Amino acid sequence: MTTAEAIRNRISETGVGEPFTSTQFKALGTRASVDQTLARLVKQGEITRISRGVFVHSKQSRYVGEVMPEPSKVAQAIARAHGETVQVHGAEAARLLGLTTQMPLQAVFYTSGPSRELKLGKLPLILKHVARRKLALSGRPSGLALSALWYLGKERVTTSTIKTIREKLTPQAFEEFRAETPSMPAWMANTVHRYDQEATGG
């Protein structure tokens, strides 16, 4: 079986609409042969290149044409391809935790890599570089809480905010969140401590 045939078979095993990376094929041939095969498949319209090293075998809809994968899946695929860490943007994290009802207008994620903007069809996907401390617990519910607090900021985070987070997270996830207090900024850690005191009647 040629490298091209092996790659085609592997892509066919990937769910339609699921992003994948060129690194997934490194055992099937040389870097050059893999890159050439993927470039040829893009040119033939069999797959779509989303970003450097990230592709999708996209769905086709009779109503809207090409249907791209969920932005979160693409962000994770880009992170895998480039060895980066990504986290849900604080605005979306706050919405998911019930801290705000505002719907973000764009798909934005925090990343340890460089800031950049991609297009998923007509939808912009924005990756925004932030310090690694803002990416703690990424990919976990407890990480959503941290991301939301960073986004809300000192003036908007109160003990009621922490109470809402406690109600949304499992006990284990909330303990993971609390365990990060030593690395939190003082204003955030102090609010968590005040919540603990209020909760225990201290």
Are residues 136 and 180 in contact, defined by beta-carbon separation less than 8 angstroms? yes
pTM for this predicted structure: 0.81
Q: What is the pLDDT of residues 136-175, one digit of tens each?
A: 999 999 999 999 999 999 999 999 999 999 999 999 999 9
Domains present along the chain, CATH in parentheses: 3-67 (1.10.10), 71-200 (no CATH)
Q: Name the residue with higher pLDDT: 164 or 62.
A: 164
